[in-house]
Amino acid sequence: MIVHCRVTYCRGVNAEPTPGRRPTIRQVAELAGVSHQTVSRYLRKNGGLLPGTVERIDAAVATLGYRPNLLARSMRTRRTDTVAVLVPSLLGRLPQRELSAACAVAHDAGYRVEIVMHEGGPEERQERALELLDSRQVEAVLSLAPLPGDGPPPVSGTIVAAGDHDDSSRGLGALADGSTAGEIVEHLASLGHRHLLHVAGPEDFASARNRRLAYEAAVERLGLVSHGSVGRSWSPQNGYDAITALPPDSPVTAVLAANDEVAMGVIRGALERGWDVPGHLSVFGWDDRLMGRFTTPSLSTVAVDREQLGAHAMRRLVAALRDEPEPEPPGTPLNTILVRESTAGPRSQEPA
């Protein structure tokens, strides 16, 4: 199954498009008071133009509703100014934030983006990438999942593999790093919590496994008491069931949930038991979903800078296209702990 989704990013236009015939590059040049060669440089994003010149051309493009004739340009230059992003698996797991950031970088560099969804393993994915390059419809392909081998493609063009997702769009590499779970346990311990519970995600996700392992290692290292790593799904029901299954006299005072949805289920189950959050139970999620910022209490969580991954991957592709040095990786951490209202010290210090 292959699904194509064309995504086109254009410069902002405030005026309505000019009715009738489409405006030409010479009309843009006349309105901006520059030569058509200058407008051509502007459209190719070659740089070197004075800021005032760029502002005048920006205004002319907006006023006229100008759009480049990309078909004519590609026939003249033998370039399409288009790159493809190859995404594994199904729409239900589309990495929207990574894609949005990657497309923004491509747009800023003067490229359009086609998103191509393709099921299969690394070999099938590489074959599809080579087909796209061989069609001459795109100049390069960014794969968000691993490809076999590291050699250059046997056709003209460029392929870059980000490798942030597996064949089913599950997070790999930095996205699967669970070390932040250990930092959360350390924070909870610093608040005085000693009896903890982890409501885990599905074991076939590396991210869920690594969070569980980091939680368990930190609990053991700090001499805390874990009341289990229970549950195995990303659903709110998982969190709800885990909390409602605890005995009435459970000494658990803090819960680390696999993600924000599971944490929401934990909070709902706790409240239905008459356990207030964070007075009776502190709760931590993961992913910084928007809804978690507006719940009562607001949810402590881990913000994951997925945009960083998509943007860096596309910068690598653009650099390869232009035969430029590989860009430096981002200097900011992917995961950031956000402490909000759902976390506080335990109401009383229970014995170890």
Per-residue pLDDT tens over the stretch 32-48: 999 877 887 787 665 67
Task: State the pLDDT confidence band at 292, using cuts at 50, 70 and 90.
Answer: very high
Q: Which of 281, 279, 237 is nearest to 258 (CA)?
A: 237
pLDDT of residue 36: 79
Long-range contacts of 200-203 (CB under 8 A, 24+ apart): 200/229, 200/230, 200/231, 200/232, 200/258, 201/232, 201/233, 201/234, 201/258, 201/259, 201/262, 202/232, 202/233, 202/234, 203/232
Q: Which residue has the higher pLDDT, 270 or 93?
A: 270
The class that CATH gives domain 174-305 is alpha beta
pLDDT of residue 289: 94
Three-class DSSP category at 230: strand
Which residue type occupies 70? L
pLDDT 10s digits, 91-111: 456 788 999 999 999 999 989
The answer to whether residue 349 scores a pLDDT higher than 50 is: no
Q: What is the mean pLDDT of residues 332-349?
A: 90
List C-alpha distances in Å: 299 to 25, 257, 262, 284, 332: 52, 11, 11, 7, 23
pLDDT of residue 276: 95
Q: Which of 76, 68, 95, 311 is nearest to 319 (CA)?
A: 311
Q: Angle of helix 260-272 relative to helix 236-244, nearest 10 degrees? A: 40
Would you list the DSSP string of 280-336? Answer: T-EEE-SS--GGGGTSSSPPBEEEE-HHHHHHHHHHHHHHHHTT-PPPPPPSS-SEE
| Domain segments of the chain as ranges | 8-76, 78-170+308-331, 174-305
CATH topology of domain 78-170+308-331: Rossmann fold (3.40.50)
d(CA 88, CA 135): 20
The answer to whether residue 4 scores a pLDDT higher than 50 is: no
pLDDT 10s digits, 164-197: 777 666 777 888 899 999 999 999 999 999 999 9
The answer to whether residue 120 scores a pLDDT higher than 50 is: yes
Highest mean pLDDT among 71-75, 169-173, 340-344: 340-344
CA dihedral 83, 89, 95, 100 (to 10 degrees): 20
**Cα angle: 76, vertex 80, 81; to 5 degrees:** 115
- 78-170+308-331 and 174-305 in the same fold: yes
Structure tokens that stand for 271 in this block: 């409240």
Three-class DSSP category at 90: coil
Q: Under CATH, domain 8-76 is a member of which superfamily?
A: lambda repressor-like DNA-binding domains (1.10.260.40)
pLDDT of residue 169: 62
